Amino acid sequence: MTCQSSEAPDTVQRHDRRADSDPRAGDSDENRIASAMKDLKNTGWYWGSLTAHEAKEILHDCPEGTFLVRDSSQRDYLFTISAMTSAGPTNLRIEFKDGKFKLDSVVLIKPKLRQFDSVVLLVEHYVQLSRNSSKAGGKDGAKTGGGAPASASSSPPPAAPSGTVQLLLTKPVYTVAPALQHLCRVSINRSARSVHDLPLPNRLKDYLTDYAYNV
């Protein structure tokens, strides 16, 4: 995979937190994985122990950019993103190391990839890049066919494993139809700068902040 998604150091999302320096690394990793699982189960597009073949069948007739997250079938990885590209379904493994999640890639590209505290944050980031790329008419998309890496300022979405097609993450596939409340929560998170500043009862604010993502 030639995932060219380096960003400038000052590109920080509202959910990002500083790396945990607690010497109890094992406990920290367990807590992060448990927290990541909680967030994933709230998304509606986490499919659990779905196989690669089953994911391919689900995505078969879907438009480009449709995606889901499932458990990885490889023991060295926890999760995989399965997505539809212009060339068909593909899979990207998510690596967990040193308390952070990032897309798996070739060794030379790995240092440039963003790292995240949760899987949903990772997906949210690349969904936003894909949406921005689509709005720009694909001008900032990842180069294909072995072209030169994009600059840090262009912030392209990741390239597919073959390096020949652009990978977009735009629309998740839900396991079941999501509740209207959840869809409203996602929409509010997408447009509101601060949930706490909204003229809403505290109970509703608690519900919004329990899943503080926009995808």
Domain identity same for 105 and 89: yes
Domain identity same for 126 and 204: no
Domain identity same for 154 and 191: no
pLDDT over 70 (residue 52): yes
Question: How many Å apart are CA 67 and CA 90, to the nearest integer?
Answer: 10
Percent of the chain with pLDDT over 70: 70
Within-domain flag for 199: yes
DSSP state of 158: P
Q: Residue 98 belongs to a domain with what CATH number?
A: 3.30.505.10
pTM above 0.95, yes or no: no
Nearest in space to 96 (alpha carbons), one of 174, 35, 150, 170: 35
69: tokens are 């997250």
Tell me, what's the pLDDT at 21?
38
Within-domain flag for 12: no
Question: How many Å apart are CA 24 and CA 41, to the nearest integer?
Answer: 26
Domain identity same for 70 and 159: yes
Identify which has the larger pLDDT, 205 or 154. 205
pLDDT band at 27 (very low <50, low <70, confident <90, very high): low
pLDDT over 50 (residue 146): no
**Angle, CA 23 vertex, CA 101 and CA 113 arms, to 5°:** 20
Domain identity same for 187 and 170: no
pLDDT over 60 (residue 2): no
Q: For residue 17, count CB atoms less than 10 angstroms from its CB and return exposed for 0-12, middle for 13-18, buried for 19 or more.
A: exposed
Domain identity same for 215 and 156: no
Domain identity same for 118 and 166: yes
Nearest in space to 129 (alpha carbons), one of 147, 146, 117, 116: 116
Q: Which domain holds residue 204?
A: 177-215
In the chain, helix, strand, coil percent, each to 5? 35, 15, 50
